[in-house]
C-alpha cells in the first residue's frame, strides 16, 4: 500500500493549493454532516417537554439544521469550482504527460531491443491507474476519513464507552485488512504481468491484421487471444475469491459491533444514563461509523484492482535511459560531417550479450559516399544505431568532426546534422507539410518544396488540390509504397544535414520506383557525407567506399573493384546477384 500513499503524496505536491482549499471545504462539509444528527437528537430531547417554549426551541434548531445544510451546499459549490478549475481534468493530463515524458527519455536502443508493446501497455494502464487512485482518494476516501475521525471523536466525547468499543473493533478489522492485503499482493502483481502479456498478444494481432487476413488465420488469432484472456481471468478469479473470503470475515464484525453498541445504548437509556435524544444521535453516529468501515472495504477492493498497474508503472519509471546525456553538451560543432569509429565494440545485453560490433575502426571523410553491406546479423544496423546514438559503445569512441558523440548535444545533432531514412516508413496521419518538416525545426515551405523536388515527389504533391496540406492518411495509406519512401527522403534532406543515412531505402519497391528513389538519393547526397546500407548491391556499387561487415567487424573496405579482389564474402554476394564490374 505504500505505493498508493506515494501516489497521493505526488498528487498533493503537484496540486497543493487546490487540494488545500478542497480539503478545508471537505472538513467543513463533514462537520456539518456530523452536526445534523446531534441537533436532531436535541430536537427529540426538547420535544419531550411539552409547551410553547419547547415548540419554539425545536423550530429554531430545525432552522439551524436547514441553514447548516444550505451553507454545506455553498461550500460544496466552492469545492466543485476549485476541482473543475484546477484539478479534476488536470490529474489525468499530468499523469499521462509524465508517462509520455518517460517514454521519450529512454534511448532509441531501449525501444529497439526491449518489448515496446509491454512498455506501452505498462505506461497506458499505469497512468490511468495513477489518475484513478488520486481521484478516488481526494473525492471519496479523504471525505470518509474526515467523517470517521469526526464521528469517532464525537462518540468518545459524548459516550466514551460506545466510542472506545467501536474504535477498538475498527482498529482490529483495519489491522487484519492490511495483513490480508499484503498477503494477496503477489497474486495481484502476477495478474498485472499477465495483463501486459495479453495486451502484447492482442496488440500484435491487431497491428498485423493484414498478415492474419493474407494467410486466413483469423480463427487461430481469435483462439490464441481468447485462451490467453481466459488464462488471465482464471488466475485473477482464484486470487480474488481467496481475498474476498477474508474480507467477508472482517466485514462480519460490522453487524456484531452494531448490535452490541445498540444494546449498550438501550441499557444507558433505560437506566437514565443518557437521554432519548442522546440515544438517537449516538446510534446514528455508530451507523455512520459502520457504514464507513464497509466503505473502507469497498475502497480496498477497488484499490487492489487498480494498484498493481500503478506499482508496475513505478517499476517502469525506475528504468533510466542507457545513454548518458551531458548536463552541458557541446552544440553547433557539426560543420563538415566527418565520421570516425575508433576501436568500437558493442553487444546486446538484452539478447544474451549477442555481438553487435567488435573492435571496429573506420574514418569517413566529409562528402564521401559510403556503402555498407554484409550478411544479416553482421553488424550493419548496429553501426548505424551507434552513429544515431541509439546506443553508446561499450568501448572505443564514435567521433563526429573529431568530437566524441557522447559529448555532443544529442537533440541538436539529430534535428540539424543528421538525416535518416529507414526501410520502414514511419509516417503520421497528418499533412505532407507536417511529415516533411517533422525532422527539423522552423522549417519553411520553401525548404519543403525543395526537399520534395529532390525526392522526385514535388509534382505528385503539388498537383493535389490541397498541396502541402494534403493529408496522407494513417501510415501514409494515401501514398504508394515508393511515394512513402520518397516522402521519407524529403523529410531527411529538408533540414540540409551534413550526414545522410539510408537504410535499405530501395528494398521494398519495384524497379520503376527504385530508379526514382536512387535518383533522389543521388541528388540528396550531393555535398554531404552519405552512408547507404544495402543488400541489393547495384545501389551502392558506385560508392566511394564500401564497408563489408562480417561477424560484427568491418572485415574489408574499398571500392567495388577492390572488394571483388580482396573479399571472398563480397565477391560471393556479387555472384549471387549476378553483379559484375561496371
pLDDT digits (tens, 9 = 90+) for 57-67: 989 999 999 99
Strand partners, 408: 330
How high is the pLDDT of residue 142? 86
Listed in sequence order, the residues at least 6 apart from 5 whose beta carbon sits closer than 8 Å to its beta carbon are: none
Q: What is the DSSP string of 145-207?
A: HHHHHHHHHHHHHH-HHHHHHHHHHHHHHHHHHHHHHHHHHHHHHHHHHHHHHHHHHHHHHHH
Give the Cα-Cα-Cα angle 548, 549, 550 (nearest 5 degrees): 125
The CB density around residue 59, as the number of other CB atoms within 10 Å, is 12
Q: In the 8-state DSSP scheme, what is residue 324? A: P
- Strand residue runs (E) in 237-368: 339-348, 354-364
The whole-angstrom separation of Cα 445 and Cα 434 is 10
Nearest CA among 142, 18, 129 for reference residue 83: 18
Angle between helices 160-207 and 142-158 (to 10 degrees): 170
Q: Which three cell numbers stand for residue 579?
A: 553483379
Tell me if 344 sits within 8 A of 504, measured CB to CB. Answer: no
Q: Specify the pLDDT at position 1.
A: 64
Instruction: Provide the 10 A C-beta neighbour count for residue 533.
Output: 25
pLDDT, position 406? 92
Q: How far apart are CA 539 and CA 423, in angstroms?
A: 14
The b-or-e profile of 249-272 (16+ CB within 10 A means b, else e) is ebbebbeebbeebbebbeebbeee
Task: Write down the pLDDT at residue 581.
Answer: 47
Q: Give the separation between CA 304 and CA 300, rounded to whole angstroms.
A: 6
Q: Which helix (H) or strand (E) element contains residue 370?
A: strand 369-374
Residues 143, 147, 148, 153: is their CA dihedral positive or negative? positive
Q: Can you give the pLDDT at residue 360?
A: 92
Structure-block grid coordinates of residue 513: 520506383
pLDDT at residue 393, as a whole number: 92
- pLDDT at residue number 512: 66
Residue 236 in grid coordinates: 485473477
With a cut of 50, list the residues of the chain below it in pLDDT.
Answer: 581-582
- For 129, the grid coordinates are 491507474
**Measured distance CA(574)–CA(159) in Å, rounded:** 96
Q: How far is CA 285 from CA 46, 156, 453, 555, in A?
A: 20, 11, 79, 84
Spell out the SS3 assignment of 116-156. HHHHHHHHHHHHHHHHHHHHHHHHHHHHHHHHHHHHHHHHH
Supply the pLDDT for residue 115: 66
Q: Which of 522, 497, 355, 509 lies closest to 419, judged by CA? A: 497
pLDDT on residue 6? 83
State pLDDT tens for residues 476-520: 888 888 888 889 889 988 988 999 998 876 665 566 667 777 777
Contact status, residue 297 vs residue 177, Cβ threshold 8 Å: yes
The pLDDT assigned to 218 comes to: 84
Instruction: Give the number of other CB atoms < 10 A from CB of residue 377.
Output: 15
Distance CA 201, CA 205 (A): 6
Closest CA to 310 of 139, 131, 182, 187: 131
> What gap in Å lies between CA 19 and CA 5, rounded to an integer?
15
pLDDT of residue 507: 62
Amino acid at each position: 500500500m505504500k505505493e498508493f500513499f506515494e501516489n497521493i503524496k505526488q498528487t498533493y505536491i503537484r496540486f497543493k493549493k487546490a487540494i488545500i482549499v478542497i480539503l478545508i471545504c471537505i472538513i467543513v462539509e463533514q462537520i456539518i454532516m456530523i452536526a445534523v444528527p446531534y441537533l436532531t437528537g436535541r430536537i427529540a430531547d426538547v420535544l419531550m417537554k411539552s409547551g410553547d417554549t419547547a415548540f419554539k426551541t425545536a423550530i429554531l434548531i430545525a432552522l439551524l439544521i436547514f441553514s447548516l445544510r444550505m451553507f454545506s451546499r455553498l461550500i460544496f459549490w466552492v469545492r466543485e469550482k476549485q476541482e473543475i478549475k484546477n484539478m479534476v481534468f488536470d490529474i489525468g493530463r499530468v499523469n499521462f504527460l509524465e508517462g509520455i515524458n518517460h517514454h521519450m527519455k529512454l534511448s532509441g536502443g531501449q525501444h529497439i531491443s526491449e518489448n515496446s508493446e509491454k512498455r506501452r501497455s505498462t505506461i497506458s494502464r499505469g497512468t490511468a491507474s495513477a489518475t484513478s487512485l488520486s481521484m478516488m482518494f481526494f473525492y471519496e476516501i479523504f471525505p470518509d476519513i474526515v467523517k470517521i475521525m469526526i464521528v469517532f471523536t464525537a462518540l468518545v466525547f459524548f459516550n466514551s464507552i460506545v466510542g472506545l468499543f467501536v474504535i477498538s473493533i475498527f482498529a482490529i478489522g483495519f489491522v487484519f485488512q492490511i495483513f490480508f492485503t499484503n498477503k494477496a499482493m503477489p497474486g495481484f502483481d502476477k495478474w498485472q504481468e499477465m495483463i501486459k502479456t495479453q495486451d502484447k498478444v492482442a496488440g500484435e494481432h491487431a497491428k498485423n491484421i493484414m498478415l492474419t487476413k493474407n494467410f486466413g488465420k483469423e480463427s487461430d488469432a481469435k483462439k490464441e487471444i481468447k485462451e490467453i484472456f481466459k488464462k488471465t481471468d482464471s488466475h485473477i478469479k482464484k486470487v480474488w475469491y481467496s481475498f474476498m473470503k477474508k474480507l467477508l470475515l472482517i466485514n462480519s464484525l460490522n453487524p456484531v459491533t452494531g448490535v452490541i453498541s445498540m444494546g449498550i445504548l438501550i441499557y444507558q437509556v433505560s437506566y437514565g444514563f443518557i437521554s432519548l435524544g442522546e440515544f438517537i444521535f449516538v446510534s446514528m453516529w455508530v451507523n455512520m461509523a459502520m457504514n464507513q468501515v464497509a466503505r473502507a472495504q469497498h475502497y480496498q477492493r477497488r484499490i487492489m484492482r487498480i494498484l498493481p498497474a500503478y506499482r508496475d508503472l513505478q517499476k517502469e519509471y525506475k528504468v533510466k535511459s542507457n545513454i548518458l546525456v551531458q548536463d552541458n553538451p557541446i552544440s553547433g560543432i557539426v560543420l563538415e560531417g566527418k565520421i570516425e569509429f575508433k576501436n568500437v565494440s558493442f553487444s546486446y545485453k538484452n539478447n544474451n550479450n549477442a555481438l553487435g560490433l567488435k573492435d571496429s575502426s573506420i574514418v569517413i571523410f566529409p562528402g564521401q559516399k559510403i556503402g555498407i553491406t554484409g550478411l544479416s546479423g553482421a553488424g550493419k544496423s548496429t553501426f548505424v544505431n551507434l552513429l544515431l546514438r541509439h546506443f553508446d559503445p561499450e568501448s572505443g569512441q564514435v567521433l563526429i568532426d573529431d568530437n566524441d558523440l557522447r559529448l555532443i548535444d544529442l537533440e541538436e545533432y539529430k534535428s540539424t546534422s543528421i538525416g535518416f531514412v529507414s526501410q520502414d516508413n514511419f509516417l503520421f496521419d497528418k499533412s505532407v507539410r507536417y511529415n516533411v518538416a517533422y525532422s527539423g525545426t522552423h522549417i519553411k515551405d520553401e525548404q519543403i518544396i525543395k526537399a520534395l523536388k529532390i525526392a522526385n515527389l514535388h509534382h505528385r504533391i503539388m498537383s493535389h488540390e490541397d498541396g502541402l496540406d494534403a493529408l496522407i492518411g494513417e501510415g501514409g495509406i494515401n501514398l504508394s509504397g515508393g511515394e512513402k519512401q520518397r516522402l521519407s527522403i524529403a523529410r531527411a534532406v529538408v533540414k540540409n544535414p551534413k550526414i545522410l543515412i539510408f537504410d535499405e531505402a530501395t528494398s521494398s519497391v519495384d524497379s520503376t520506383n527504385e530508379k526514382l528513389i536512387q535518383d533522389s538519393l543521388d541528388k540528396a547526397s550531393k555535398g554531404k557525407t552519405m552512408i547507404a546500407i544495402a543488400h541489393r548491391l547495384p545501389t551502392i556499387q558506385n560508392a566511394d567506399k564500401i564497408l563489408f561487415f562480417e561477424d560484427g567487424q568491418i572485415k574489408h573496405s574499398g571500392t567495388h573493384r577492390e572488394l571483388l579482389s580482396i573479399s571472398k564474402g563480397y565477391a560471393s554476394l556479387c555472384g549471387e546477384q549476378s553483379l559484375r564490374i561496371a
